[in-house]
Amino acid sequence: MEKHDPTIAEQIAEALSAFQKQNTGHAPKSVTVVLGEDTLVVTLHEALTPAEKALAQSANGAAKVQEFHRQLFAASFESLRQEIQRITTRDVREGIAEIEPTSGAVTHAFTTGTMVQVLLLAPTSTSANS
């Protein structure tokens, strides 16, 4: 039987998925990792709990969900930074978290001092491709 060594992206996806599950009790449905020269962007798809999704139906509730996840990220940034440094062997200087309450996506961006703009695209649909 052949043993599979996980890629850096796979290791990061696993670490961030485990972090989300540990801190919220809800694992994301999937994780996308984009690793550039000096930037790492991780998107946790469908990462919000059912209660957070329900709360996010109103503008006020969505703001509360966003603020909760920003605070959660800030409180755990040091441990995430250390784990990413361990996996990538690169220093992490900054990190941000953004939440898109409608889709339940949570995006983490880790940079080495560059400006990051994250655009979350809508899912593809068969009617849009026709």
Separation of alpha carbons 79 and 19, rounded Å: 10
- pLDDT at position 116, please? 62
Chain segment 87-118, per-residue pLDDT in tens: 999 988 888 888 888 788 888 887 666 666 66
Cα–Cα separations (whole angstroms), residue 96 to 6, 123, 130: 25, 23, 36
Domain boundaries, the chain: 28-111
Classify domain 28-111 by CATH architecture. Answer: 2-Layer Sandwich (3.30)
For the ranges 13-22, 45-54, 93-102, the lowest mean pLDDT is seen at: 93-102
Handedness of CA 111, 93, 37, 7 (dihedral sign): negative
The overall average pLDDT reported for the chain is 84
Residue 120 is which amino acid? L
Under 8 Å CB-to-CB from 96, ≥6 apart: which residues? 73, 108, 109, 116
Q: Which residue has the tokens 């605070």?
A: 71
Query: For 9-20, what is the mean pLDDT?
Result: 94
Query: For 48-53, what is the mean pLDDT?
Result: 89
- pLDDT at position 38, please? 84
| Spacing of C-alpha 53 from chain mean position | 16
Separation of alpha carbons 113 and 124, rounded Å: 32
Could you tell me the pTM of the whole model?
A: 0.80
How much of the chain exceeds pLDDT 70, in percent?
A: 85
